[in-house]
A and B are shown apart, each in its own frame.
Chain A
Amino acid sequence: MHAFGARVNIHEYQAKEIFRKYGIPIPPGEVATTPEEAEAIARKFGKTVVVKAQVHAGGRGKAGGVKLARTPEEARSIAAQILKLTIKGLPVKRVLVTPAADIASEAYVGIIVDRASKRPVFIASPAGGIDIEEVAAKTPEKILRHPIDPRYGLQGFEAMQLAFFLYSDMKQVRPAAKILQQLYRAFSENGGSLAEINPLVTTPTGEIVALDAKMVIDDNELERRPDIAALRDESAEDPSELEAREASLTFIKLDGNVGCVVNGAGLAMATMDLVKYYGGEPANFLDIGGSSNPGKVVAALRIITRDPNVKTILFNIFGGITRTDDVANGIVTAIKQRPLKVPLVIRLTGTNEEIAVKILSEHGLSAMTDMDEAVQKAVALATGGKAA
């Protein structure tokens, strides 16, 4: 499932630690960062183990990131292989070593916040262990959706209804209902955008255990939850996007050659669209946010100029709360620190526009006031044509 909104991914082993605190039965497991550690953990368990890559990417199994090891020696060599992998661009730096479980059947349970009903919604399916979106598309009758009133939480009778959809034997129904309530508490008390157990496994002896765990946190929660913020694994994120976040910018790298610096997400997207409309390709999405300070602009230029594909940099600033003179000062400061190797096109209008234009012209720069003209000029410069 996809969680929407501003998100922080945490690793499987971290989600399992949270779930365990709420009483959800989770098989033991330990994290290794070297093959030697993996071997020692496997020796301690004294049985066949699973070695699982800890990265923020789906499809770990298909990428060779999840493997069985029958002996401690095998655990060591498999961990060595997995720790060399890069899955969907993300290098594997940790593995989780956990005893292999015997599986009789697999179910799915998850919670997301639903935009339409404005509530958290439970999703349950007896067809677990596979991609739940595939189940939803091919066999929708195997999926149950249940919205929760967040002021009361998941009540006992609701948990039982969901559990009866998954199991028929009371030996499974009761513990499953308990797990669902524990999962809801873990989700709501930790600021979740998503909490998921896939698979929720029934063992041959009839016990229910959570074999995998996934949790995504709403990043608006982090300010009041330093304990959750500490779970964020910054080595598992794109370095430029991380640097941007530290400077309070939103940056997403794309493949084009027109670097864009814009205030506001909607205008940033519209600017990218206009670059494309006039025959160019945007190199990034970059929103400097509402209240600009010159430091943000300096950071923005540093991040964008690192991309060798960028042939032109386009500023599109509509001053409201953002003061255009702050942006102009940031541009001037950044260029003094490190002169640009690519042409710069600046469009700004709004708050303190006259001051901004004066600052720029004192440093040999000029500004345009029309968005379309600025974008056309930037595209022409990037594609080697004459400036519009």
Chain B
Amino acid sequence: MSIFIDKNTRLLIQGITGRDGSFHARQMIAYGTQVVAGVTPGKGGQKFDDSVPIFNTVAEAVQQTRVTAAVIYVPPPFAADAIMEAADAGIPFIVAITEGVPVLDMTRVYPFVKERGARLLGPNCPGLITPGQSNVGIIPGRICTPGPAGLVSRSGTLTYEVVYQMTRANIGQTTCVGIGGDPINGTNFIDCLDAFEKDPATKAVVMIGEIGGTDEQEAAKFVREKMKKPVVGFIAGQTAPPGRRMGHAGAIISGSAGTAAEKMHAFEENGIGVAKRPRDVVDLLKRALR
């Protein structure tokens, strides 16, 4: 079992012929992901690498192939439109990889997607992977291995670091989800924790947070009130100076809420084991899985 994607996921790639889209399309296909369609306006009727049919619009792709999820690699000025196009065509799960989507665009996209009953992951996220079954996004498949731990994270390469250390220590993963670092995103920690709690294959969860906002604190409360499975965590940005943006648009300390110390404290208070270093996640997990 897993959350959000598995071997039955039938994926549509928006921007499949672009530089990033085509590169990752090949990676995902090589991993075993079922890529059933691509969309690039003006290239409808062609085939990507002689195998994946390309359509002009998402609506057409949905009519002619059975699509259960979409992943978006289009450039930032067009990303909001691409997300809405996927939601309007009735695709229930949409992953937006694009970095640099204007925040005001997202304030309009979020209610649009919600009203159509779709789940959005991202934007500005690495996507997600269910090891051995399906890879949607840009997470390198070879660092993951199937197993009992779920992982949810706001960051990209830091996620890879933690997964890599877990895999080296023979702790496999059910699903690894990158929710993205933007201030407004479609899926948050709580959405993923809730899904992991309901997934019978997941025995413990790793949560990787960052400075900025209060999502981790709210997630910590959720863990105490609603979860039976053990959760361990790590927070990046303990040495970040207040008020400075550290690359991720979401990672800014504003007012009192959002420092690493505050988030680590919230984790501890709510029964979440806190790793001091990324590698300490492994020992905490081993204990949690015992």
Contacts and interface: CB of A to CB of B under 8 A. Distances in A.
A285 B246 contact: yes
B290 interface: no
User: Could you tell me the dominant secondary structure of chain A's interface residues?
Assistant: mixed
Contact of A150 (B100, B108, B241): B108
Interface stretch (B47-55, B169-177, B204-212, B223-231): B204-212
Interface in A250-277: 250, 252, 254, 262-270, 272-277
Contact of B161 (A149, A150, A221, A371): A371
Interface string B153-181: 11111111100100000000000000001
Chain A: interface residue count, which band?
Answer: 35 or more
Interface string B242-255: 01111111111011
Given A223-B100, A277-B276, A266 B208 contact: yes
Nearest to B243: A2
B77 A268 contact: no
Interface residues of B, number: 63
A170 interface: no
B104 A113 contact: yes
Interface in A289-341: 290-291, 318-322
User: Could you tell me the dominant secondary structure of chain B's interface residues?
Assistant: loop
Contacts, number: 174
Most B-side CB within 10 Å, residue of A6, A119, A276, A319 = A6
A349 interface: yes
B111 interface: yes
Nearest to B278: A270
Closest 9 CB pairs of A and B: A266-B155, A265-B247, A264-B157, A266-B158, A269-B236, A267-B157, A5-B249, A287-B247, A269-B237
13 contacts: A113-B107, A113-B184, A264-B247, A268-B247, A269-B237, A285-B240, A287-B247, A290-B156, A320-B140, A320-B157, A321-B20, A349-B164, A371-B279
Given A220-B103, A254-B241, A349-B164, 17 more contacts: A2-B255, A4-B212, A4-B250, A113-B104, A218-B103, A218-B104, A250-B245, A265-B248, A266-B156, A266-B157, A269-B158, A269-B237, A270-B278, A272-B239, A272-B240, A276-B239, A287-B246
